[in-house]
Amino acid sequence: MPVLNILHLVGSAHNNFYCDLSRLYAQDCLSAIADPSLYNFQIAYITPDRQWRFPDSLSREDIALTKPIPLFDAIQFLTGQNIDMMLPQMFCIPGMTQYRALFDLLKIPYIGNTPDIMAIAAHKARAKAIVEAAGVKVPRGELLRQGDVPTITPPAVVKPVSSDNSLGVVLVKDVNEYDAALKKAFEYADEVIVEAFIELGREVRCGIIVKDGELIGLPLEEYLVDPHDKPIRNYADKLQQTDDGDLHLTAKDNIKAWILDPNDPITQKVQQVAKRCHQALGCRHYSLFDFRIDPKGQPWFLEAGLYCSFAPKSVISSMAKAARIPLNDLLITAINETLGSNKKVLQN
C-alpha cells in the first residue's frame, strides 16, 4: 500500500492567538497519527505577516530556524512536492477560506469543508438563516453594525458574528448593559449578533462524520452550564494561557465538558437536527454544531464549527473515541471520503 504524502497546513494569517491555537492542535495531531507505513507528513506554517515556512517540526526552535518565504515561492515549493492531500489546521477566517481556496487552485485535495461553506459557517447570522430555512429552530436574533440599537428585550446574548471560543460574548440581563456588551463584541468583529436568551436546559455539541456517503451522528459532548451560576459559557471555559505563553485547552478536563452516554434520550433528537444542519449547509466529510436545549428538551441551533484537527483532544476525535472509532480509523475514513475512487484510498 503506497504511503500518502500529507501536508499539514498550520498557523494563522490573522494574528498570533490563532497561530498558537493552530500549532497546539496540529502538534497533538502530528504526534498521535504518526505512522511511517501509512503517511509521510510535511508542514506548512503560516504567520500573521503571511509568510510561509516549511519546518521539520512545530517546535518553536524549528519554526525559528526555518527561512520565511513569500506566497509565490511557497507555491513553487508546493507544486514540486508530490503532495497527495492537505490537512487544514488553520482556524482563522483567512485560513479557513483563502488558504483552502489556494489548494483548490493547486488541485491538491484536502479534508474538510470548502471555502464557501467555511465562510458561511464562520458568519453566525448566515449559518443561522440557512439552517432555519431547513426547519431547524434558532434563537430570535438581529444583526447589528456600529451605531445600530438592539430591539430585543433582555435577557439576550451579544456576540461577534465571526469569533470563536466565546471571545466577546456577553449575557445582557438589562437594557442598560447593552452599550458595554456591544462595545466588547465590536472589538472582535464589524458585525454583532444579539439573540434572545434560551433558558437552560442544557448545552451540547454534536459531531457528524461521513462514511461511504452516509451521515453518522457521534456521541454528544455536554458542557457545564447552570441556570443561575453559569448561564452561558465564556472564553475561560475553553482556553487558558500558561505562564510560558502557550495555550491550554480547559474544556478537555471532563469537568467543564464531557461525552454523554449515547443512551441519553437527548442524543438521537440532537443528532437528527445536526444531520439536517449538515445537509442544509452543504457540508462534506464532517461537521460540528452547538445546540442549546431548553427546559422542554427542544434543541436550538447556536452555531457551526466546521473543523477537526484530528488531534486526540479535538472534539470530533473525542466523540469518535466514545463511539469506539480509533483516531486513525477516523482519519482514514476522512481520507477515503476526500480521495474518493483515487488509487491511494486506504482501508480501515
Is residue 214 a part of any domain in this protein? yes
Statement to judge: residues 207 and 180 lie in one domain:
no
291, 306, 321 - which closes a domain: 306
Is residue 343 a part of any domain in this protein? no
Statement to judge: residues 44 and 84 lie in one domain:
yes
Statement to judge: residues 186 and 226 lie in one domain:
no
Statement to judge: residues 13 and 79 lie in one domain:
yes
Statement to judge: residues 191 and 209 lie in one domain:
no
Sort strands 4-11 and 39-46 into parallel, antiparallel or unpaired.
parallel
Is residue 168 a part of any domain in this protein? yes
What residue type is 156 in one-letter code? A
pLDDT at 249: 52
Is residue 272 a part of any domain in this protein? yes
CB 300 within 8 A of CB 128: no
Q: Read off the pLDDT of residues 220-272 as tens digits, 9 standing for 90 and up.
A: 999 987 666 666 665 454 445 445 555 445 455 556 889 999 899 999 999 99
pTM listed for this prediction? 0.89
Higher pLDDT, 58 or 251: 58
Q: Is residue 289's pLDDT more than 90? A: yes
Is residue 314 a part of any domain in this protein? no
Is residue 337 a part of any domain in this protein? no
Mean pLDDT in residue range 41-60: 97
Q: Read off the pLDDT of residues 292-316 as tens digits, 9 standing for 90 and up.
A: 999 999 999 999 999 899 999 999 9
pLDDT at 192: 96
Q: Is residue 33's pLDDT more than 50? A: yes
Alpha carbons 296 and 15: distance in angstroms, whole number? 41
Q: Measure CA 177 to chain center.
A: 30
Q: Read off the pLDDT of residues 316-340 as tens digits, 9 standing for 90 and up.
A: 999 999 999 999 999 999 999 999 8
| CATH number, domain with residue 186 | 3.30.1490.20
Measured in degrees and rounded to the nearest 5, phi and psi for residue 188 equal: -110, -10
Structural domain that includes position 150: 140-196
Residue 336 to residues 31, 109, 344, Cα–Cα distance (Å)? 21, 11, 9
Rg from Cα positions in the chain: 20
Mean pLDDT in residue range 80-85: 95
Is residue 287 a part of any domain in this protein? yes
pLDDT at 41: 96
Statement to judge: residues 17 and 36 lie in one domain:
yes
Statement to judge: residues 16 and 40 lie in one domain:
yes
Q: Read off the pLDDT of residues 170-213 as tens digits, 9 standing for 90 and up.
A: 999 999 999 999 999 999 999 999 999 999 889 999 999 999 99
Statement to judge: residues 93 and 46 lie in one domain:
yes
Statement to judge: residues 170 and 81 lie in one domain:
no
| CATH number, domain with residue 293 | 3.30.470.20
Statement to judge: residues 159 and 252 lie in one domain:
no
Q: How many domains does the chain fold into?
A: 3
Alpha carbons 233 and 231: distance in angstroms, whole number? 7
Alpha carbons 117 and 152: distance in angstroms, whole number? 29
Cell (9 digits) for 43: 508542514
Strands (E) across 103-151 are located at 141-145
Which residue has cell 448566515?
A: 126
Statement to judge: residues 190 and 270 lie in one domain:
no
Q: Read off the pLDDT of residues 115-136 as tens digits, 9 standing for 90 and up.
A: 999 999 999 999 999 999 999 9
H or E stretch at 204 = strand 202-211
Return all residues near 197 (Cβ < 8 A) that are at least 6 apart.
Answer: 139, 154, 155, 156, 157, 171, 231
CB 118 within 8 A of CB 96: yes
What residue type is 131 in one-letter code? V
Is residue 336 a part of any domain in this protein? no
Alpha carbons 82 and 84: distance in angstroms, whole number? 6
Statement to judge: residues 208 and 261 lie in one domain:
yes
| CATH number, domain with residue 66 | 3.40.50.20
